[in-house]
Amino acid sequence: MPRPLFATIHLDSMQHNLAQARSCAPYARIWAVVKANAYGHGLERAMRGFATADGLALIEVDYAVRLRESGWIKPLLLLEGFFDASDVPLLAEHNINTAVHCIEQVKMLEYTQLYRPIDVHLKMNTGMNRLGFQPGEYAAAYARLRAIPGIRNITHMTHFANADELEHPRLTIADQVRRFQHGADGLPGERSLSNSGGVLHQSDLGDSLSNDWVRPGIMLYGGTPGGRSAQDFGLLPTMTLRSEIIGMQEIVAGDTVGYGSRFEASGPMTVGVVACGYADGYPRHAPHGTPVVVDGVRTTLVGRVSMDMMTVDLTPVRNARVGSKVTLWGDGLPIDEVAQSAGTIGYELMCALAGRVRVQEGPMGSDG
């Protein structure tokens, strides 16, 4: 029998979350973001889960080609653009949209003969200070792109730094929108501003946030970028990580658990050993108290996470036994809650899922 650890991907939840994104931004088309192997869910699964999206957005040129070869015929967008001039012909061959965020990319497009026109998304740096042209440089970059014969449509794009916090003390969405409007003033073309945070807060921002395209990522996978919970927005988990209890120990006050003996029992307790560790993608730095669900009962992690195992408090779980079902995140235990306890974000947990974990598909509420 294989090790009792598996991740279940819920395609029905992916479809549901995409519908929620549409309801938040009903007048915009949607780029479903599938970077990082669809946040650990698998590109081919994402292609099915987000089949009704208007396009898919990702990072890697080769993965975009793979989506085309797998049968995706709608638009594709490279969020970081291309990394070498040799990639440009592939964009034309496979009809792939590309971001353009620096003058070096503009030059590569100027010096590459395109046998078929391509669409580009010109990125403005409105305060994220990661990629993009400064607002004062933006119009000149646009003019150079517009002069290239092989460039068809130019979409104006930016990325919000603090979309999860509308009144951020340093940089708000409104601040970034004002900079964007100033830099793109008078330039024709569609607009693409909102990531998940912007989409989720669309109703709060109203007409001040006008998108032709939105780019939801984490919300499509049942997480949020921060602030309110996924449940508050009607989002469902798309990945459930489950295991089983494979061993039990009865300990007394003063006994310690795990490497470093960092957890000390304050009284009699039952400790269960779960077949999952940091080599599977569970965060090693998750502290005592990180939530776990065993046989439907919420309990906590105790001791340090090992490479292949972790230990949990079974004291509150009646009739716990070897073989008891364990939910580490997902259906019944929000991944954002686990991530917050571990001092990280749900994105990292999804993306860190190790290749040795068996992955299957199944509906919500199923043990797979």
> Would the CATH topology of 11-226 be identical to that of 239-361?
no
CA-to-CA distance for 328 and 290, rounded, in angstroms? Answer: 10
pLDDT at position 205 is 65
Residue ranges covered by each domain of the chain: 11-226, 239-361
Cα angle 195, 196, 201 (rounded to 5 degrees) comes to 105
Q: Has residue 360 got a pLDDT over 50? A: yes
Q: Across the chain, what does the average pLDDT equal? A: 94
| Cβ(7)–Cβ(361) below 8 Å | no
Please name which of 248, 257, 241 lies closest in space to residue 322, comparing C-alpha atoms. 248
Q: Percent of the chain at pLDDT above 90?
A: 86
The model's pTM: 0.94
What's the CA gap between 194 and 210, in Å, rounded?
A: 9
> Which sign does the torsion angle of CA 334, 336, 338, 340 carry?
negative
Look at residue 269 and tell me whether its pLDDT is greater than 90: yes
On whether the CB atoms of residues 100 and 106 are closer than 8 A, the answer is yes
In percent, how much of the chain has pLDDT > 70?
97
How many whole angstroms separate alpha carbon 210 and alpha carbon 214? 10
- In angstroms, rounded to a whole number, what is the distance separating the alpha carbons of residues 364 and 15? 12
The residues, ordered by sequence, that sit 6+ positions from 64 with a Cβ below 8 Å of its Cβ are 58, 76, 78, 94, 96
Q: At 367, phi and psi to the nearest 5?
A: -85, 5
- Which homologous superfamily does the CATH classification assign to the domain defined by 11-226? Alanine racemase (3.20.20.10)
pLDDT band with cut points at 50, 70 and 90 for residue 1? confident
Q: Which CATH number fits domain 239-361: 2.40.37.10, 1.10.579.10, 2.60.120.10, 3.10.20.30?
A: 2.40.37.10
pLDDT digits (tens, 9 = 90+) for 163-219: 777 778 888 888 999 999 999 999 999 999 999 988 988 766 666 678 899 999 999
Q: Active-site residues: which are they?
A: 35, 259
User: What integer pLDDT is reported at residue 79 of this predicted model?
Assistant: 98
**pLDDT of 229 higher than 90:** no
